[in-house]
Amino acid sequence: MTGMVLDLSTDVVALTEAVVDVESVSRNEQALADAIEAALRACDHLEVTRLGNSLVARTDLGRGERVVIAGHIDTVPLNDNLPVRNDGTMLHGLGTCDMKGGVAVALKLAAGVRDPNRDITYVFYDCEEIEAVHNGLRRIAEERPDLVEADFAILMEPSDAAIEAGCQGTLRVEVRTHGERAHSARSWKGVNAIHRAGEVLRRLEAYDARRPVVDGLEYHEGLNAVLISGGVATNVIPDEAVVTVNYRFAPDRTEEEALAFVRDFFDGYDVTVTDSAPGARPGLDLPAAKAFVEAVGGEVKPKFGWTDVARFTVLGVPAVNYGPGDPSYAHKADEHVPIEHLRRCEQTLRSWLGAS
């Protein structure tokens, strides 16, 4: 195998820099996947499987418990933020926060923790930042669910080096209003669909967000217009307008319950679903989760947003988000990760896995 070589024996900061500098915008992950595969196959204590541009590496020590440590290797598009820059306190650059810092931590563990107190499955997958149909973890779960069977999972998404449990579900719908075309000079001969969209926006403006408590954590829902379109020409009364609405719902609601709420909220309008993904309950009452919370220090926050912990929940595997970086800097031009977070996350996970 040719191409870039990743040295997994190097310091986690240097490894993060190396991983970040391999550009891997979604659908362009092959070079980084090749480098990760070569590095993992050099570890004789791991069984490595590749599916497309996703890698699964597993220990098989017969331990009484198995955990998954997972991270996606793709990023959002470039924004004049490569190569990586190290200012001594932060690493700046595309993917430093979301989530190549977490990937580097997981790679360090995969290479260095040879005799863990739990069996470990490491997952490095592609296409997380684009449509769910392309998601590498989804592909693994559908084609080889045996590879991700576990008692507990940790997704290395940026979480300020603290535990963010569960996640919100997400639903996107298009709310359509209909009218009748006419020349704008004779507007009374038609019905303006864009004007009719005003009521859709008024309902959204008056929305009172739910804030349910789920497994001891308070989630804050959101229902928002994120796109609006309509119009035929500047001299034509439009006969259709579309408001795209995103509903971020707490994990006490199923996808079906979320859709029922949205359809009822927009009663009288044409509602079309364009994307949907379930939430994930925190699952903090399970033994593996309790042990991890204790190792991190006991602080747990709810996850606002959707992550692939929901995919593990569907598989019956409780999961949390835990990784370096402030998630509010994900996808930003000034994306960065604190060097202290990288070191802390690596050491915390090493200790939890019984390594020095």
Region 169-277: CATH code:
3.30.70.360
Helix 339-352 × helix 12-20 angle, to 10°: 120
User: What are the residue boundaries of the structural domains of the chain, listed by start?
Assistant: 12-167+280-352, 169-277
What is the spatial distance between Cα 5 and Cα 36, in angstroms, rounded to a whole number? 8
154-204 pLDDT, tens per residue? 999 999 999 999 899 999 999 999 999 999 999 999 999 999 999 999 999
Give the chain's largest Cα–Cα span. Answer: 79
Complete edge-to-edge strand list for the sheet that includes strand 319-321: 47-51, 54-58, 119-125, 66-72, 152-155, 319-321, 163-165, 300-302
54-99 pLDDT, tens per residue? 999 999 999 999 999 999 999 999 999 999 999 999 999 999 999 9
**Which residues are marked as active site?**
74, 128
Architecture of domain 12-167+280-352: 3-Layer(aba) Sandwich (3.40)
7-21 mean pLDDT: 98
15-32 mean pLDDT: 98
What is the spatial distance between Cα 182 and Cα 229, in angstroms, rounded to a whole number? 18
Does residue 208 carry a pLDDT above 60?
yes
Confidence of residue 120 (pLDDT cuts 50, 70, 90): very high
Looking at residue 356, its pLDDT comes to 63
Looking at residue 42, its pLDDT comes to 97
What is the spatial distance between Cα 120 and Cα 99, in angstroms, rounded to a whole number? 20
Confidence of residue 1 (pLDDT cuts 50, 70, 90): very low
Among 126-135, 243-252, 296-305, the range with the most confident prediction by mean pLDDT is 243-252
Does residue 298 carry a pLDDT above 80?
no
